[in-house]
A and B are shown apart, each in its own frame.
Chain A
Amino acid sequence: AQSVTQLDSHVSVSEGTPVLLRCNYSSSYSPSLFWYVQHPNKGLQLLLKYTSAATLVKGINGFEAEFKKSETSFHLTKPSAHMSDAAEYFCVVSDPGGGADGLTFGKGTHLIIQP
């Protein structure tokens, strides 16, 4: 079975400061890992994905994440927050071979950007 834990339900940062959203995972496989963003009343948008290539993954809108197998972590970072980054962020784990669990989502981290 696979699972994912997002360590913070809410994160508040000031505009222009760095963002760190933390995620730990558990998987019996060599997992695929993703970060999705959901703006209010919108669907989910894929920010980035890790699929056993480079451990540092660059995504859209300046976000990146580093896969650390020894720490079972996949934290999301951005050097400088923008007001438009305010949204719900989901860390997701999956068996890349297509296991029975589909995509397993974390509970989400609500990112608040202070002006």
Chain B
Amino acid sequence: KAGVTQTPRYLIKTRGQQVTLSCSPISGHRSVSWYQQTPGQGLQFLFEYFSETQRNKGNFPGRFSGRQFSNSRSEMNVSTLELGDSALYLCASSWNPSTGAEGGFFGQGTRLTVV
């Protein structure tokens, strides 16, 4: 059974650009959550999607957005990139509407560098 797949693995973007990251959950999983990992702030919750609907959102500016498709694949978009957006972006999938009781299975992440 394939795990959570995140693409691309690495990205370099310039300030002011926008970027789209993709996450394909484990087959059968309908919940996808996104996290940002930085050395200074650690791992922070971005948002969670279930059945194409955003269920929860962390404390991030509106430049961070996402969506989920009918096949449960999810994308997150960051517009008007800032240097501080450089981070490892992790995606987690689970069966249920929330990773709360299960913890979720994580992908290897996308390393975004903003220059």
Q: A residues bordering B, Cβ < 8 Å? A: 32, 34, 36, 41-46, 49, 51, 90, 92, 94-108
Contacts and interface: CB of A to CB of B under 8 A. Distances in A.
B72 interface: no
Given A94-B103, A98-B55, A43 B43 contact: no
B56 interface: yes
Contacts of A103: 33, 35, 43, 45, 92, 99-100, 103-104
Interface residues on B, range: 20 to 34
Nearest to A97: B100
Contacts of B106: 36, 43-45
A97 B58 CA distance: 17
B90 interface: yes
A39 B66 CA distance: 27
Interface in B44-59: 44-45, 47-48, 55-58
Interface string B88-115: 0010100011111111111111000000
